[in-house]
Amino acid sequence: MIRLLTCLLSGALFGLGLAIAQMTNPLKVQNFLDVAGHWDPSLAFVMGAAVMITLVGFRVVLRRQAPLLGERFHLPTLVHVDRQLVLGSALFGIGWGLTGYCPGPALATLLSGNDEVYLFVPAMLLGGFLHRKLARRA
């Protein structure tokens, strides 16, 4: 029960942070990505703060033998850049630039009444489903 409550509170805090930073506003995100046009650098501070908190947080948390509410840490094992990583990153960036949404903010925006997110989220889920199906075949 404590684990589910922690997940709920963590997700709510994450969503609140996205909303306060306006990362749930696709026009704000697109203006941040439009360095040759109407560039809005304000999200760089949000991203910079997130990176700094993550760097410090990982150093503190990974000193432990195991997470507080889990049996082990689930860390990436990939140690090199491969074709799949590059293509996935490119697709993510293209999708983010075209729509102004990435998965977290899109899910946090679902209850906002923004009609375009109702198209994005199913398309995102379909893309994940298709990737999983194709990856199993390979």
In the predicted structure, residue 59 carries a pLDDT above the cut 90: yes
pLDDT tens across 90-104, in order?
A: 999 998 888 888 888
Residue with tokens 């410090």, as numbered in its chain: 56
Positive or negative, the CA dihedral 57, 60, 66, 67 is negative
C-alpha–C-alpha distance, residues 108 and 9, integer Å: 14
Residue 78 is given by DSSP the state -
pLDDT at residue number 112: 81
Q: pTM score, two decimals?
A: 0.73
Contacts of 33 by beta carbon, 8 Å cutoff, 6+ apart: 96, 97
Average pLDDT over the chain, rounded to whole? 90
Is the pLDDT at 54 greater than 80, yes or no?
A: yes
CA 83 vs CA 65, 88, 95: distances in Å: 33, 8, 18
Residue 19 has pLDDT above 80, yes or no: yes
* SS3 assignment, position 75: coil
Q: Is 32 exposed, middle or buried (0-12, 13-18, 19+ CB in 10 A)?
A: buried
Q: Where are the domains of the chain?
A: 2-137
pLDDT at 68: 86
Count of Cβ atoms closer than 10 Å to residue 84 Cβ? 12
Q: Residues 81-110: what's their mean pLDDT?
A: 89
